[in-house]
Structure 1
């Protein structure tokens, strides 16, 4: 057996386990979730007295635990077991805002192990791994947004096939599929399908209908908006059904990036069950992996991080508050370029340099070990390196196995696992500087950047000494081209650099050519905008790498993106700017003739505020108004899609929504967007918008003259 999901009831907990031929339930009525309170002995004794009569409290006891990373002795803390999982946060809030202000000095208590997600807490406290031991059965359910807004269950698609018939017939077909398939996981186009389908079944008198393995469902949380790293996000409402995990496919970052295989890989590492991992952010999953390691070390997790940033002089702030390595690109097209980059640079730095909250500027060492900063580094193995090393090594193993297998199914599984770990590793560096990170510290963030800058500068110097010229570099990657007739082999240089620093410098790509794009408002190179033709592609068609330009921007309509890619291919085939201009002119002619299907002209924008908060009458506002007029809505952090049909109009008439199946589009608007994409391709060759428009006029005139 293996745990699939956990169901919390008033009478206790029900575990749902997968078996070789189905599922099995195990009751755990004795489970009492736990939090801890730290403070002076006398204060804890009085708090225990105050909590003794609280009906939310099951038992109280004094125990010894480590309360911070790096502690060498355990502290006495008050263990508080509550009757129900949902009582933990309420009780913590009461201690902080009622008991402490009423009878104690501010900051008398420190609270631990408070804000864990429910199923994760259960698995961690009961030492129950939620790792399936057999392949999981899935069922995919989809309903169009317009039907959802109208509270209709039709048309419903099951595993990609639309069910024919009215609502009652649809529900009966779904009920039969649920019984015959007996899925472990429901992959829903939106979690709102749960109340919609359950309510509709009740209204049609289908008393035997159940999305879960038993009747009923529960709303775990309502929809909400949040802000993270300056970006507004949307967290949809969450639901649970007995005995099955639900994945909201439209709102699960990890499902989008790693599929179910990637999610299961993270479940095994974090012990967050499938449903909680699927809806979790990168940061919450990384935190869960850290919490599992902390629990193994008997270290409690603080509810609110209270350690302030250490005092720094102006000079120390100047030295520490710097970003990663940046070497501005040389605008233009460069031939015979090689790209080298450090494998998982920041995570590897944290492991190789032993950077962790308890090791940076430790009290047992005083020598400056971080380049350019006055921070010491403890030699005792740190917490963060122990968390990250398995992730780094396993991702490298997945990538190695990918290179060795031709089996398409195995390749997909390995790629999904590698991608899931990639995003966790990407977040681990920034998370050290995040104010709410349970095991983060700003000095770690500064130290990692300092080491990274030094490594990149050293690598640049060694590559240049070996006969190569650096034409661009940023964060962990360098682009080089030979500056001598016979430079030292890159493989030899990469090996030497890797041996020196202990982090693999990999020869990532060779390019026949790379074009670095200038900024729109100056001649300086844009740091993250480039494209090029990869050498030696095993594919029948050329392989191109593109970053930052329109085709890589999620808001760009598909037609604009596709044309831009064709322009790059055209340049690669001819190496002539005029050939690109001619290809662009042909695409513009198709667009202006009204021959582009509107589904290829959909713009996707993520909104940052509700409709009423917008001051300007933008296209996005027009789309939000159309949604409102049709009974649909978008919350901050969600996407809005639209086709511009008349940009000169006012209000909602400027755009149409994709489900309205518009038949026309604003030619001038999309022509401007297409020319802008053309400028990005031709800018490295000396074109700006003015010169491109002139070249297009010349091309059009020549084309017309040829037919006279």
Structure 2
């Protein structure tokens, strides 16, 4: 019998692995075994003593084996320790670490996932095809034309009887599974839900807020009613803690995960990868990373690339260091200045330009890692001190004797993305599938670069990060110089993209750059017009804030309010309408002619706000909080909303978002200044002049290069409204 690996988890009580395989006849439960092993590197005397000490506390077995303990290293003798039961891995490792005074014993393979250990030992992988009952692989992770399993799914929605923010104490109003709505007494609803899930037997259950509220809520209501609720195919759930963490300049909150056994629960709201790339993107990364689909939906693309690197390292005889703490190599002040420069940027020329070409390198930083063999063990390797391969500006030498771990992992990802992008052009039903796979791989490639400079990443090393950006700067400068030699005018350039104006052969230019750099330079398109916006604080060209119209009529928007997560729907609609008006222009002169009349769009929004007829939902602002309420010093709108929630017994964690309506921006009272979104009834008055100012700011963001900045628009509004100013609060 043939099937696909749907789910895999450790049964900690029985010390065995449970794998669910989706066959043509349904899901099959397969029991397997894996003996977890950890490895210890120490002096010969310490290893001999350790063998005796371990015999006293009881482990399955110990043996001396040869393994590679670091990238680029030869095999060395280490102690292999077979752990007696799954739950003992971490405690045993901590004991051995303490016996070595936390520095004499280096431990390996301690924090590998149990499903990862099992898959690596069995030679199978998540969403891969296997033969039953032997669990023999009949698939390859690197296949591009792989068959997707016939997965069934349902959509689970829950309504509570509470008012405002739902709580665990609110009775169930109704539960919906697809189009079937269950209501009535709570106990009956829960029993009907369980019966319906068993009857439908879906492989995937989709929810919104399932992790953060609805699944734990249903379990709480079931406990209150004395009902044993099991939504998985196996008994019990797998839960994880919620946590806040800092990433790419902002605090993010990850809610506790509520994973089912034998079924896949995907919370669309908390799954970044699903939101960005859909189910096909998740399946693609699940196969490549060997992380089960349900687990991967709660992890970042960075976790996927890290797992791929670990899998490749284990495949090549390495053991994986626990508690990595490699210090950065010493550098002089001059070396730090040369190294720590990031990507190259050509300051954009503020204003509108027509006939502009945009060209982008294909996955520039990952491609640099592959073309120039950048990996922790290859940069300044001990084996090639006289290597002819050096990093521009920095002088680091690069290994010539073998391909590094990072390039080996990236080559198939880059190849797959290139193929999928071509297949996507064919359109049709499979076009969407290829598009989702392409998007998933894009995020993996983006995070791969970031992980090279992250000190605590398993295979992170700052010199790799510095080398990649140095090559990137060199490539962009050389490409810009070549463009100028060909008669193009460089209007803007940032990291991996250039905006050029001129009538030369853009195709010939892209071919020459691709040939010179060994990295494909692709034409994104030609703009009828493009507007580069100024920085709000300095007035010089902002690095990544622009909007433009391609010759085919499509718009490209970056960095403006309509693209930001915290923009209220009112301002988003305003910018969309203004852009629709401006997109009627086919060149710079016609664009400039439309600028004055675009203010009429703004005027309509201002009048609507002052009339008091705006739907309150369109005025709600959404702000991400960076700390707990008690840690804020200044009083502002977000703090006022947090205080309201606190007064009603609700606490938000750093990284979560607070939503509110501004009712009186001048008030020092939390309850008068704003109204938190969960407490809105729909007829609240709002601070009309505050929202008028937000409208003016939204318009000024688009028109500031043309003498319509925020100060000019405020003056214009005062002049227009001085004759018939209405109430501030409506």
Alpha-carbon shift at residue 130 of structure 1 (Å): 1.9
Q: Which residue is 1:514 aligned to? A: 530
Tell me if 1:238 matches 2:241: no
Pick one of 57, 64, 67 that aligns with 1:65. Answer: 67
Alignment equivalent of 1:299, drawn from 303, 318, 323: 318
Q: Matches of residues 186-201 of structure 1 in structure 2 within 5 Å? A: 186-189=205-208, 190-191=210-211, 192-201=213-222
Match of 1:478 in 2: 498
Over 3 Å counting, the alpha-carbon distance change for 1:645 and 1:702 in structure 2 is: closer
- Residue 375 (structure 1) aligned with residue 396 (structure 2): yes
Q: Secondary structure of the equivalent of 2:173?
A: coil
* 1:122 paired residue among 112, 118, 124: 118
Q: Report the alpha carbon displacement of residue 229 of structure 1 after superposing the two structures with TM.
A: 4.4
Counterpart pick for 1:691 among 712, 715, 718: 712
Separation in 1, partners of 2:721, 2:525: 38
Measured in 2, the distance between the counterparts of 1:59 and 1:228 equals 42
Asked if the contact 2:561–2:567 (Cα under 8 Å) also holds between the matched residues in 1, the reply is yes
Please state if 1:584 is matched with 2:586: no
Q: Does 1:349 align with 2:368?
A: yes
- Following TM superposition, by how much is the alpha carbon of 1:698 offset from its aligned partner in structure 2, in angstroms? 5.3
Say which of 614, 636, 660 aligns to 2:654: 636
Distance 2:244 2:646 in 1: 19
Q: Which residue of 2 aligns with 1:540?
A: none
SS in 1 for 2:634: coil
The answer on 1:158 being equivalent to 2:172 is no
SS of 1:251 mapped into structure 2: coil
Q: In the aligned structure 1, how far is the partner of 2:666 from the partner of 2:721?
A: 26
| Match of residue 172 from structure 1 | 191
Matched, 1:606 2:624: yes
* Residue in 1 that maps onto 2:44: 41
Q: Does 1:224 align with 2:243?
A: yes
Q: Is the 8 A contact 2:34 2:121 kept in 1?
A: no
Instruction: Report the Cα distance in structure 2 between the residues aligned to 1:658 and 1:156, rounded to whole angstroms.
Output: 23
* Matches of 2:505 and 2:330, distance apart in 1: 47
Residues 312-361 of structure 1, C-alpha deviation per residue, up to 9 Å, x if partnerless?
22222221111101110111111111111101000000001111111111
Residue in structure 1 matched with residue 511 of structure 2 by the alignment: 495
For the 8 Å contact 2:12–2:87, the answer to whether it is kept is no
**Does the CA contact (< 8 Å) of 1:216 and 1:242 recur in 2?**
yes
Q: How many Å separate the matches in 2 of 1:166 and 1:222?
A: 31
Structure 2 distance, partners of 1:53, 1:17, is: 40
1:455 is aligned to 475
1:655 aligned onto 2:666: no
- CA displacement 1:610-663 (0-9 Å, x = unmatched): 111111222111222222333333211112222222223311332223343432
**C-alpha distance in 1, partners of 2:194/2:518?**
57
Matched residues in 2 for 1:611 and 1:533: separation? Answer: 43
The counterpart of 2:284, out of the listed 234, 252, 265, is 265
Q: Which moved more, 1:512-521 or 1:172-181?
A: 172-181
Aligned to 2:134: none
Q: Per-residue CA shift, 1:561-599, capped at 9, x if unaligned?
A: 110122122233362321122221111111111222111
Q: Is the 8 A contact 2:168 2:221 kept in 1?
A: no
Deviations 1:498-547 (A, max 9, x none): 1111111111021111111111122211111111111123xxxxx21111
CA deviations on 1:662-706 (whole Å, 9 max, x unpaired) are: 3232212211111111111111213322212233455668999xx
Once residues 265 and 393 of structure 2 are traced to their aligned partners in structure 1, the CA distance between those partners, rounded to angstroms, is: 49
- Describe the SS at the equivalent of 2:664: coil
In structure 2, the CA distance between the partners of 1:59 and 1:231, relative to structure 1 (3 Å rule), is farther
* Cα shift at 1:148: 4.1
Aligned residues of 1:395 and 1:421 also touching (Cα < 8 A) = yes
Q: Does 641-650 or 431-440 show the bigger shift?
A: 641-650
Q: For residues 692 and 87 of structure 2, what CA distance do their matches in structure 1 show?
A: 56
Is residue 339 from structure 1 mapped to residue 350 from structure 2 by the alignment? no
For the residue of structure 1 that corresponds to 2:231, the secondary structure is coil
Give the Cα separation in 2 of the matches to 1:370 and 1:377: 8
CA deviations on 1:211-243 (whole Å, 9 max, x unpaired) are 111333343x22222233443222322233332
Match of 2:641 in 1: 623
Give, in whole Å, the separation in 2 of the partners of 1:85 and 1:260.
31
Q: Say if 2:201 is the partner of 1:182.
A: yes
2:28 corresponds to which residue?
Answer: 24
Residue of structure 1 in register with 2:99 after alignment: 99
Post-superposition CA distance 1:279-337 (Å, at most 9, x none): 11222111101111111111111112233222222222221111101110111111111
Task: Give 3-state SS (helix, strand or coil) of 1:4's partner.
Answer: strand
Paired positions, count = 683
Q: Give the direction of change, closer, same or farther, for the CA distance of 1:554–1:299 in structure 2 (3 Å limit).
A: same
8 Å Cα contact 1:431-1:437 kept in structure 2: yes
Answer yes or no: is the 8 Å Cα contact 1:512–1:535 preserved in 2: yes
Tell me the residue number matched to 1:135: 150
Query: For structure 1, which runs of at least 5 residues remain unmatched after alignment?
Result: 538-542
Look up the SS of the partner of 1:146 in the other structure.
Answer: coil
Partner SS, residue 213 of structure 1: coil
Partner secondary structure for residue 269 of structure 2: helix
Aligned pairs for 1:81-100 within 5 A: 81-96=82-97, 98-100=98-100
Per the alignment, do residues 471 and 355 of structure 1 end up closer, same or farther by CA in structure 2, a change over 3 Å counting? same
Q: Indicate if the aligned counterparts of 1:149 and 1:631 stay in contact, CA closer than 8 A.
A: no
Aligned 8 A contact 1:582 1:699 in 2:
no
The equivalent position to 2:107 in structure 1, one of 108, 111, 135, is 111
Q: 1:404 to 1:458 in 2, by over 3 A?
A: same
Question: For structure 1, which segment, 421-430 or 246-255, has the greater mean C-alpha deviation from structure 2 after superposition?
Answer: 246-255
CA contact (8 A) 1:264 1:274 kept: yes
**Paired residue for 1:464?**
484
**CA 457–68 in structure 1, closer or farther in 2 if over 3 Å, else same:** same
How many angstroms apart in 2 are the aligned matches of 1:510 and 1:702?
Answer: 46
Cα distance in structure 2, aligned partners of 1:633 and 1:415 = 39
CA contact (8 A) 1:198 1:211 kept: no
Q: Which consecutive unaligned segments of at least 5 residues does structure 2 have?
A: 130-148, 585-589, 726-730
How far apart are the structure 1 equivalents of 2:10 and 2:167?
A: 27
Q: State the Cα distance separating 1:453 from its structure 2 match.
A: 0.5
Moved more, 59-68 or 467-476: 59-68
Which residue of structure 2 aligns with residue 526 of structure 1? 542
Take 1:631 and 1:563, find their aligned partners in 2: how far apart are those partners? 36
Question: Does the C-alpha gap of structure 1 residues 214 and 531 become closer, same or farther in structure 2, counting only changes over 3 Å?
Answer: same
Query: Is contact 2:10–2:114 with CA below 8 Å preserved after alignment?
Result: no
Distance 1:99 1:175, change over 3 A: same
Whether contact under 8 Å (1:194, 1:211) holds in the other structure is no
Per the alignment, do residues 690 and 148 of structure 1 end up closer, same or farther by CA in structure 2, a change over 3 Å counting?
same
SS of the equivalent of 2:284 reads: helix
**RMSD of equivalent CA atoms:** 2.2
- Cα distance in 2 for partners of 1:161, 1:314 equals 67
Alignment partners' CA distance in 2, 1:620 and 1:116: 40
TM-score, normalised relative to structure 1: 0.92
- Counterpart-to-counterpart distance in 1, 2:187 and 2:27: 28
Once the two structures are TM-superposed, the CA of residue 474 in structure 1 deviates from its matched residue by 0.5
